[in-house]
Amino acid sequence: MSGITFFRTLDLKKIKEFYLKRMEMRLWQDQGDCIILKKGNLLLGFCERSEADTTGIITLFYLSKAEVDSKYNELQNIALQTPAVNKKYNIYQFFARDPEGRMLEFQSFCHPLNPYLDGNELLVSRRSIREFEKSQVSRETLSEIFEVCRYSPTSRNSQSYYFVVVDRRDHHETIEFLGSVLGESSAPIARAPLAIAICADSSKTGAPEQDACIAAYHFLLASFNHGLGTCWIAAMDRDDVKEQLGIPKEHYVATVTPLGYPKEMSVASERRKANEIVRFFDDS
């Protein structure tokens, strides 16, 4: 089930412009005198009426303190104070007001969250993490991630992929070895509480590389959706890595990724525009 929170407004045009431009929401539905705006999994509706609703708080939350700071820098002229940690609720926040006086809250949680990202937000916000907190990842969380990963597509539905989980608490030397095999490129593994090798059994499929790589990206996305950081470490399909992890030589290792709670989450880097990466074939 999904939901929408509606507000009455005296000036639909001004409110629409503010939420589209300043709040970076997008128009989801236009119903004439009512509009519905979307950002992530938040749906806000505004309907032009003879009076405005201005009570309550509209809260938008972000992945990191850095993103809250970035939003504050954009909205300083309407912000009510600088961002600060709220120790009672363990959040980082600041407040502002929209053109009709509604209270706006911008925050990030200072603790792990259960999954909440919608599909677009997950694909846009996932990034590589190379520094990790010491906090352990629970078996329950791992089980939820692998429950999603078992739906990864494979050639002829071979389901050839599998995952090897290495826990630093039990296999410190193995983690250190994996972190050293490629120098600085693999070093993030040694800084994480877990390492996950994502593999494919070549006896079950004619496309082990593709099966394993698709499963690996499923794992990276599912992990990020649970608030965990990963980093694609390439060139780990090596005999010494396989021997260390008990993986048959003929199997394919797509990556060995570190896994843990991010030490920090930076603001996403600039990306090329869609029209710069797409070419429509023209055979004329």
- Domain positions in the chain: 5-109, 128-259
pLDDT of the residue at 257: 98
Q: What angle do CA 54, 55, 56 make, to 5 degrees?
A: 125
* pLDDT tens sequence across 220-260: 999 999 999 999 999 999 999 999 999 999 999 999 999 99
pLDDT of the residue at 284: 65
Q: How confident is residue 129, by pLDDT bands cut at 50, 70 and 90?
A: very high
Confidence (pTM): 0.83
Instruction: Check whether 199 has a pLDDT greater than 70.
Output: yes
CATH number of 5-109, picked from 3.40.640.10, 3.10.180.10, 3.60.21.10, 2.40.50.140 = 3.10.180.10
Instruction: Check whether 91 has a pLDDT greater than 90.
Output: yes
The class (CATH top level) of 128-259 is: alpha beta
Q: Give me the residues paired with residue 37 across strands.
A: 27, 44
Strand extents, DSSP E, the chain: 5-9, 26-30, 34-39, 42-48, 57-62, 84-86, 91-97, 103-109, 161-167, 194-200, 252-259
Show the tokens assigned to 280. 């429509």
